[in-house]
Amino acid sequence: MNLDLVPLLFEDSRPGRRCVRHANADKTQASHGLPARELREAPPALPEMGELDLIRHFTRLSQKNFAISTQFYPLGSCTMKYNPVVHEKIAADAAWMGLHPMQPADELQGALGLMHQLQEDLGEATGLPGVTLHPAAGAHGELTGLMVLRAWLDEKGENHRRTILIPDSAHGTNPASCTLAGFHVSTVKSNDLGLTDMEDLKAHLNDSVAGFMVTNPNTLGLFEENIQEICDLVHQAGGKVYMDGANFNAIMGITRPGDFGIDMMHLNLHKSFSTPHGGGGPGSGPICVTQELAKYLPEAIVVKNGESYSWSRPSHCIGRLRAWNGNFGVLVRAYAYVKRLGAVGMKRVAENAVLNANYLRVRCNKHWRVPFDRTCMHEFVARPTKVMKDAGVHTMDIAKRLIEKGIHPPTVYFPLVVSEAIMVEPTETESKETLDAFAEAMTEIAKEACAGDPCLHAAPTNTPVGRVDEARAVKDPQLCFRCS
Ligand SMILES: Cc1ncc(COP(=O)(O)O)c(C=O)c1O
């Protein structure tokens, strides 16, 4: 058979039958239950082409996508790091793919064993032994943790404690999760060093406080140096400390949140533990809690009895927050990641993530303003200098110019405490050559920005879609192909 001649409409490809189901003939034959007025009068004008042209078309389209497998992706906070291909293969193994969550536990022993081991490993890595793999993402983990906190307060008869304190540098999901869980949010200021302002924290502590929700390292890429004192103060005031663990990749293997006083935290397995998530999913946000809080965790914890595994429901369980038991494929990748790296490898990941970020910080601070310019963790925040701003250059112009240079823009306009922020997270997997190329691109852009070069406002000019009106795109989204 000449494959070049295989028509596009495979199901109607027999001679003389092409498109027959779409034409009038359908009206007299089985019309799939559609009313006659909905049926076509004529075959649709579908393009017809050979397989080779088709393959080239889709391959060219796929190459227009920005991907970590082709270009540098230094997306601060959202961490688009390289995820080993072998983990994809392991997760796609037919032995996992063929399972159904409603199978009886004795048919799922391998899967349950993997989940149990992962629970143990995450508990060990965080120093918080109560672990559930149930939540679907980081924000869902936050909600789960806050519901655990509510259950703990309610059992103690302290349901007047309904305020959660959050630093002003926090990710937007933190206050959103508090509100969803029925708490009020009160904001604690950051100090001149970019850390929680201790005096402001103390001023906020009273008997309406349920807890403090802190990201560590925080969203400025800085380790909260007073974290132990913060935890002590909150505990003395009768609250608990929730840690947003989205940045755990900067500290894993080096320090454990449970050891510095954290009561509960989530991990974004899709950020720190090797699942690609650039497009928003799939995700997994296990939470890890102290022994005291473990009895409130949502159901479906895996337990080991002798040599076999089964599901268990904690005694004061808050219930179920989603169907089934998490994104199992993400759990397989996380398990593979932990087992392949081991404790030593995980520590090296964190060290290299921190080293790479500091290397870029020092190279960038020569031309850009780095507001908290001291040793950072896995990411740092920069912004345009006064000269650049006076020349009319905004962070969005820099982001668009980077696209033109083949680099995915870092996160922009976040965290909110830094105006015109550009947040760079190189991750641990990038080579020095790639980091140097980024630093050089930033240097060239800085020179253009100081000169107010109009090319910055026009960028990107070499992409299929050029500069879009971002505000209009949000207010008036055109979500269909070739909308009029
Ligand atoms: C600091 C921080 N907290 C929370 C989240 C929310 O995580 P998720 O997107 O998995 O819901 C993110 C997301 O990247 C984050 O960077």
Ligand 1 and 214: CB distance under 6 A: no
Ligand 1 and 358: CB distance under 6 A: no
Range 292-300 average pLDDT = 95
- Cα–Cα distance for residue pair 72/429, rounded to 1 Å: 10
Place of tokens 């688009």: 80
Amino acid at 421: A
pLDDT at position 25, please? Answer: 44
Ligand 1 and 360: CB distance under 6 A: no
pLDDT at 153 over 90: yes
- Cα–Cα distance for residue pair 34/27, rounded to 1 Å: 9
Ligand 1 atom nearest residue 280's Cα: 9
Ligand 1 and 314: CB distance under 6 A: no
Backbone angles phi, psi at 454, to 5 degrees: -65, -20
DSSP string, 408-434: ---EES-STTSTT-EEE---TT--HHH
pLDDT at position 482, please? Answer: 65
Q: What is the pTM of this model?
A: 0.88
CATH class for the region spanning 85-342 = alpha beta
Lowest mean pLDDT among 290-294, 326-330, 400-404: 326-330
Which pLDDT tens digit goes with each residue over 432-445? Answer: 999 999 999 999 99
445 and 456 Cβ atoms separated by less than 8 Å: yes
HSE at residue 268, side-chain half, CA atoms within 13 A, is 29
- Cα–Cα distance for residue pair 78/278, rounded to 1 Å: 8
What proportion of the chain, given as a percentage, has pLDDT over 90? 78
254 and 350 Cβ atoms separated by less than 8 Å: yes
Ligand 1 and 145: CB distance under 6 A: no
Range 102-122 average pLDDT = 97
pLDDT at position 24, please? Answer: 45
> 77, 223, 266, 379: which to mutate for ligand 1, most atoms within 8 A of CB?
77
Buried b (16+ CB within 10 A) or exposed e, 376-396: bbbbbbbbbbeebbebebbbb
pLDDT at position 31, please? Answer: 63
Task: Return the H-helix or E-strand segment holding 343.
Answer: helix 328-364
Ligand 1 and 266: CB distance under 6 A: no
Going by pLDDT thresholds of 50, 70 and 90, the confidence category of residue 281 is low
Ligand 1 and 285: CB distance under 6 A: yes
Number of H helices, E strands in the chain: 16, 12
pLDDT at 20 over 60: no
- 373 Cα: distance to centroid of ligand 1 (angstroms): 24
pLDDT at position 155, please? Answer: 97
Of 449 and 323, which is predicted with more confidence?
Answer: 449
Q: Starting at the edge strand that comes first in sequence, how are the strands of the sheet with 422-424 ordered?
A: 380-382, 422-424, 411-412
Size of the chain, expressed as the number of residues it contains: 484
Range 236-264 average pLDDT = 97
Rg (CA), the chain: 26
Ligand 1 and 139: CB distance under 6 A: yes
Q: Are strands 264-267 and 240-245 parallel, antiparallel or unpaired?
A: parallel
pLDDT at 417 over 50: yes
Lowest mean pLDDT among 6-10, 146-150, 383-387: 6-10
Ligand 1 atom nearest residue 140's Cα: 11
Of 37 and 86, which is predicted with more confidence?
Answer: 86
Please calculate the CA angle 165-170-176 and round it to the nearest 5 degrees.
75
**What count of other Cβ atoms lies within 10 Å of the Cβ of residue 473?**
10
pLDDT at position 310, please? Answer: 96
pLDDT at position 30, please? Answer: 52
pLDDT at position 10, please? Answer: 38
Match domain 348-475 to its CATH number in 3.40.50.2300, 3.90.1150.10, 2.30.42.10, 3.40.50.300.
Answer: 3.90.1150.10
Ligand 1 atom nearest residue 285's Cα: 10
Amino acid at 344: V
Which pLDDT tens digit goes with each residue over 162-218? Answer: 999 999 999 999 999 999 999 999 999 999 999 999 999 999 999 999 999 999 999
Domain range list for the chain = 3-63, 85-342, 348-475
Q: Hey, which of 28-32, 131-135, 478-482 has the most confident mean pLDDT?
A: 131-135
HSE at residue 91, side-chain half, CA atoms within 13 A, is 21
Atom 7 of ligand 1, residue of closest alpha carbon: 138
Ligand 1 and 246: CB distance under 6 A: yes
Which pLDDT tens digit goes with each residue over 224-248? Answer: 999 999 999 999 999 999 999 999 9
> 243, 268, 381: which to mutate for ligand 1, most atoms within 8 A of CB?
268
- 279 Cα: distance to centroid of ligand 1 (angstroms): 13
Atom 5 of ligand 1, residue of closest alpha carbon: 138
Of 6 and 477, which is predicted with more confidence?
Answer: 477
What are all long-range contacts of 193-198, with beta carbons under 8 Å and residues at least 24 apart? 193/222, 193/372, 193/374, 194/169, 194/218, 194/220, 194/222, 194/371, 194/372, 194/417, 195/222, 195/224, 195/225, 195/226, 196/167, 196/224, 196/226, 196/230, 198/226, 198/229, 198/230
Q: Which two tokens stand for residue 136?
A: 């679907």
pLDDT at 17 over 80: no
- 137 Cα: distance to centroid of ligand 1 (angstroms): 8
Measured CA distances, 106 to 115, 182, 299, 305, 309 (Å)? 14, 39, 18, 12, 8
